[in-house]
Amino acid sequence: MSRSWLDSARERLDAAPEPIMFFFRDDDAGWGDERLLELLDHFDRAGLPLDVAVIPAALDAPLARELRARHAAAGRLGLHQHGYDHANHEPEGRKQEFGPARSPSEQRRDIEAGRRRLEDLLGDTVAPIFTPPWNRCTRTTAECLAALGFRVLSREARAEPFGVDGLVEVPVDVDWFAKRRGAPLSQAQIGERLAAEIAGGGPVGVMFHHAVMDDADMAAAGDLLALLAGHPACRFAPILELAG
């Protein structure tokens, strides 16, 4: 019998001496609405919490109504800010919306404008969490966020923490679309990475990008959620709860 890509993760869960905490983040709400709703349906069926990072400039009224309705219906859907318009402002190097090419005032202006738009469309469902596009930003960004009352910054686990007072960092560990030497990870490699994080004791943060997920990706995500939701070693929390 061939091994499933989830077998290594299942084995690690079976052997876990203590419960493992998981959280989930999905980026780029405002793009690929049909795929977003499909992913939300998977989480609804599994009964698991999901924090969705919303691009303020890309959010329209119909999607906002749908997200508010789903938030009210289950309470497991978290909504927070994902930059402003997901635009790259760096003249060279890696893409960043809130990178060193932008002044503190420019960064603050876009953060504030994005927050206003989300509050206008999503009301009090918006959590004080900020996920920068491409999971990259500067210490200046973190200082702006703290000054504006944000409580949490969520990037990738590889990012060096800024250590800004008043701003808790809750990074994700497993990127569904991570690359190795420029090539996307296979399902088996994602499974091995997930198993390694489980072996580390958690919390384990899993990041999705619904807009680039195809049918096979969605089916695999559903398999992952079903495994975790049904395993006695797994516990789940939204990002804000993990931040304390």
Contacts of 173 (CB under 8 A, 6+ apart): 156, 157, 197, 204, 205, 206
Q: What is the pLDDT of residue 74?
A: 82
pTM for this prediction: 0.94
- Average the pLDDT over 11-32 and give the result: 97
Confidence of residue 3 (pLDDT cuts 50, 70, 90): low
Amino acid at 68: R
pLDDT tens, residue by residue, 107-147: 999 999 999 999 999 999 999 999 999 999 999 999 999 99
Q: Which residues pair with 179 in a beta bridge?
A: 184
Domains of the chain by range and CATH?
7-243 (3.20.20.370)
* 127-159 per-residue burial string, b: 16 or more CB within 10 A, e: under 16: bbbbbbbbbbbbebbbbbbbeeebbbbbbbbeb
CA angle 33, 120, 140 (to 5 degrees): 90
